[in-house]
A and B are shown apart, each in its own frame.
Chain A
Amino acid sequence: MSIQDLIERTKVSFCQDCGVCTGSCPVSRVLPGFSPQQMVGKFVLSADLGLEDEALSDRDMWSCLTCALCLQRCPSKVEYLEFVRAVREEAFRTGNKATFAHDGVIETIVNMQRGGLHQNKTAWAREAGQIAESGEYYLFVGCLPYFDVLFRDMGISSLGSASHMLKMLNKLGIEPVVSDEERCCGHDLLWSGNVDVFKELAAFNIEMIKRCGSKKVIFGCPEGYVAFKAYYPLYFGELDFEVVHFYDLVGEQIKDGALKLSRVEEQTVTYHDPCRLGRMAGIYEAPRELIAGMPGMTLVEMERNRENAVCCGVSCWANCSSYSKQIQMDRLKEAEATGADALITACPKCKIHFTCALSSSDMKMEVKDLTEVMAASALEH
């Protein structure tokens, strides 16, 4: 695709030079000089003047969290997210890459999943509950087993959340397929420009789910959910299975009375909307209803909530730096100001990033995963 096509398709030239994006951007607030509006302006002019290399080598393009806050507020409806994604794709092709955190180990793990490697990803599931080889429901576990290993020293048990999800499904009479053959959803690759490998992984996953005969694929992770829901169809057309978020599914069951939430310890909590679940998937209320539905739990809102929620500071394991920490600490302080004992999030990555930030502070705030909090209430009896 030509650069001019990219400009036309993403409507960046509709920019009014108004600055709402920059004024809203969480990165701009902590990283002076970072400006989505300026990135657009620079890119368009460079492209117009035939300076495509210059346009594609803008390092700021990699600092964007793709949190969609600006997208939501842009009065010109500039497709900023798609712009960043597409520019990264072009940049990646010309050899420009993101700076990955954790020495790129996660990127390496993801890339390794292209080949014929055999993973032993399901051992935990057999211990936790009942799973099937094939069937209507498929539980997409994603990166949780890897995160479990990588971030165990931070006291994060990503598999705990996966196990609880499975147990709750079992309680509802669902024995989902969990597969060793499952590959990374490709979300991070898509957003770091490596679209070719994203497509390879996606094709593999689609084929694998087809083999399992599943019609409903359940996600606990917002990123996998959005990757499947919005981006797989973009490259592969309509999927022949339904993409379901765990909270929507559980929420329905609770409403129907199939799952009961019992009293939990009295506590006041606040809820952090993950960008992918909130602004990108439009799921704001389901998690809140689940929290408020647990007797003993009091939900208080942070000032910036729902559409206005602010990102956890890192995406795609890339460009994690001091500004990320500042975004995270600001968010945690906002949570603290509500008087809540705990910050509940609905994304495994948000949890990791906030926990990481907390580890170097003396703030008394707990970061919890919604699935685990729910498990305490739903699996008690």
Chain B
Amino acid sequence: MSRDVLVIGGGIAGIQASLDLAEQGFTVYLVERLPSIGGKMAQLDKTFPTNDCSICIMGPKLFEVERHPNTQLLTYTDVEAVKGGAGNFTVTVRKKARYVDEAKCTACGLCAEKCPVSVPDVFNMNMDTRSAIYKYFPQGIPSVYTIDDSVCRIFKGKKCNICAKICEAKAVNYEQKDAVFDLNVGAIIVATGFDVFDPSDIKPYGYGTIPDVITAMEFERLLNASGPTGGHLERLSSLNTKAEIEQLEKQIKHAKAGLKRAEKNGQNSDKVDEVKKRLAEMNESLDGLKAKEASLAELRDIAFVQCVGSRDLRYNAHCCSYGCMHSVKEAVVATEHESELKSTIFFTDMRAYGKEFHEYCLRGGSEYGIHFVRGRVAEIAQGDGGRPVVWCEDMDTRKVEQHPFDLVVLATACVPSQGSASLATMLGFNLDESGFVKTDPNKPVDTSVQGIFVCGCAQGPMDIPSSVSLASAAASMAVQTVKALG
């Protein structure tokens, strides 16, 4: 028997549920599979309809839940097995090796600076790079570094111990092992959140083939000050071009040095000529790239495409609940970055159903000049200079129109998180037709298993306030359970 509670998932829902429980004096284990708590909300730039900076309002909650004497944070941890029932669950968890001692690491960041490995940064939607030893995101909690053993040179059998050597706190430990242990809890709260739908399945939208067609989450990172552009609004195509230029310039520098050496050493003229020829070629392509970069005019016109993979019986029948609002928000925020910018939102129904939402949309139109077009985008073609061209029937004028844009942002569907099906099997609760945790509408946080509750987007697509409300509701149910049975 136990009066402790396990919360699975360290996004805003899991954090709120944990805090409510901890504040009421219950011991809470908060399990998060990633190296840091924060979830999707931590990736957002701002939040509607108040335009609050997302991480700024969330940051204090991260600290609070970490510091609370009644919470035990288990990040980088997976749930492996569950036995027992309400009032007395035994949960086996695996705390994965970080290869960094959490107690010693002070997050000074020197290790990451010196690490020779560079891989795509998932937190920044792969639009930036990180090192093999990394912090999931700057404000991440716990504030410690983690070695990604799938890319670290040490774990590939190569020689390297730069991070261990440079760490003044002596926190790096390549020998660290996963820790598998049991938790005894009286109730479980599932707050495993959601995933963003991958729009590359929708061929007519050109995601993955047209560089300036991106997802809303990618756009959030592009707007964000800690994102890949430092919050400077740029197109992916120009980012890519800049990266190419940088790389080519490096190669040219290298080749020039080689040429100098060759000439100095008096190597045979064939070789010198060859290098010269290659250098000329590289210079030519550099000119080409620079011309391309110059031709990429300033970012002026952005299109927001709603219902990408949502309300679409071919992919997800359900509505993502927040897409209309996050597009309006992104358009508003983008305009605040760059006042000359023009945003167009292509939508089916404008679902601005929450408190102050409709008013927010109206303000978006009147104060920020957002152009709302009723009509679902039919296809995104590639126009002059690779610019995306949006084809759509305007349902008000009943005309088929095509418009070129500098950037197209896809409001992608909210889909169940990757591990939710296997978690459902492990814990034994049912899922609904869309793959979210099934609940009775009149018992909104009860799963089909007694003592297991759900909150946030694990239950279905919802916005942040709904997630927070539901988290508190799940906490209440968990308390009632452990008080009665635990």
Please determine if A and B sit in direct contact within the complex, based on CB atoms under 8 angstroms apart: yes
Binding site for B on A (CB under 8 A): 16-25, 28-29, 32-33, 35, 37-38, 73, 75-77, 303-304, 306-308
Assuming the contacts A19-B376, A19-B378, asked whether A77 and B398 have C-beta atoms less than 8 A apart, the reply is no
A209 to chain B, nearest CB (A): 36
Chain A: CB-nearest residue to B315: A75
**Chain B interface residues (CB < 8 Å from chain A):** 203-204, 307, 311-314, 348, 375-379, 381-382, 391-395, 398-400
> Do A23 and B391 touch across chains, with their CB atoms under 8 A apart?
yes
B393-A77 in contact (CB<8A): no
Q: Which of A23, A24, A29, A76 has the most CB of B within 10 A?
A: A23
Interchain CB contact (< 8 A) of A75 among B203, B314, B379: B314
Say which residue of A19, A29, A76, A303 sits within 8 Å of B395 (CB atoms): A19
Give the residues in chain B near A21, CB-CB below 8 Å: 378
A24 surroundings in chain B (CB, below 8 A)? 204, 378-379, 391
- C-alpha gap A105/B385 in the complex (Å): 47
Max chain A CB contacts within 10 Å: which of B204, B392, B393, B398?
A: B393
Additional A-B contact list (6), CB under 8 Å, known A37-B393, A38-B398:
A17-B348, A19-B378, A24-B391, A75-B307, A307-B203, A308-B379
Q: Contacting B348 at CB < 8 Å: which of A18, A23, A29?
A: A18
How far does the alpha carbon of A76 sit from the alpha carbon of B348 in the complex, in Å? 12
* B313 x A18 contact (CB < 8 A): no
Contact, CB under 8 Å: A23 / B312 = no
**How far, in angstroms, from A306 to B209 measured CA to CA in the complex?**
15
Residues in B whose Cβ lies below 8 Å from that of A38? 398
The interface residues of chain A lying within 8 Å CB-to-CB of B307 are 18, 75
Select the residue from B204, B348, B392 with max chain A CB neighbours within 10 A. B204
Q: Give the residues in chain A near B314, CB-CB below 8 Å.
A: 75, 77
Contacting B398 at CB < 8 Å: which of A18, A35, A73? A35
B375 / chain A contacts, CB cutoff of 8 Å: 18-19, 23
A-B contact pairs, 18 of them (CB 8 A): A17-B348, A17-B395, A18-B348, A18-B375, A19-B392, A19-B393, A19-B394, A20-B377, A23-B379, A23-B400, A35-B393, A35-B398, A73-B204, A73-B378, A73-B379, A75-B307, A303-B381, A306-B203
Q: What residue of chain A has the Cβ atom nearest to residue B311's Cβ?
A: A75
- How distant is the Cα of A58 from the Cα of B394 in the complex, in angstroms? 22
A28 and B375 CA atoms in complex are apart in Å by 15
Q: Which of B313, B348, B382, B400 contacts A28 (CB 8 A)?
A: B400
Say yes or no: A28 contacts B393, CB within 8 Å: yes
B311 proximity list for chain A (CB < 8 A): 16, 75
Check B400–A303 contact: CB distance below 8 A.
no
Given A28-B393, A28-B400, A37-B393, A303:B382 Cβ within 8 A? yes
Q: Which residues of B contact A76 (CB under 8 A)?
A: 313
Q: Knowing A75-B307, A75-B311, A307-B203 touch, does A18 contact B376 (C-beta < 8 A)? A: yes
User: Which chain A residues lie closer than 8 Å to B399 at the CB level?
Assistant: 32
The residue in chain B whose Cβ has the minimal distance to the Cβ of A75 is B312
Within the complex, what minimum Cβ distance (angstroms) separates B400 from chain A?
5
Within the complex, the shortest CB–CB distance from B47 to chain A, in Å, comes to: 28
Report the separation of the CA atoms of residues A38 and B394 in the bound assembly, to the nearest whole angstrom.
12
Select one of A17, A29, A308 contacting B204, CB under 8 A.
A308
Most buried by B among A29, A73, A303, A306: A73
A23: chain B residues within 8 A (beta carbon): 375-379, 391-393, 400
Among residues of A, the one whose C-beta sits closest to the C-beta of B309 is: A75
Tell me the nearest residue of chain A to B399, going by C-beta.
Answer: A32
A22 touches B348 (CB 8 A): no
* A308 and B391 alpha carbons, distance in the complex (Å): 13
Bound-state Cα–Cα, A75 to B307, Å: 10
Question: How far is B375's CA from A16's CA once the two chains are assembled, in angstroms?
Answer: 10
Within the complex, which residue of B382, B394, B400 is in contact with A29, where a contact is CB–CB below 8 Å?
Answer: B400
Instruction: State A247–B312 Cα separation when bound (angstroms).
Output: 34
**Given the complex, which residues of A lie within 8 Å of B381, measured CB to CB?**
303-304
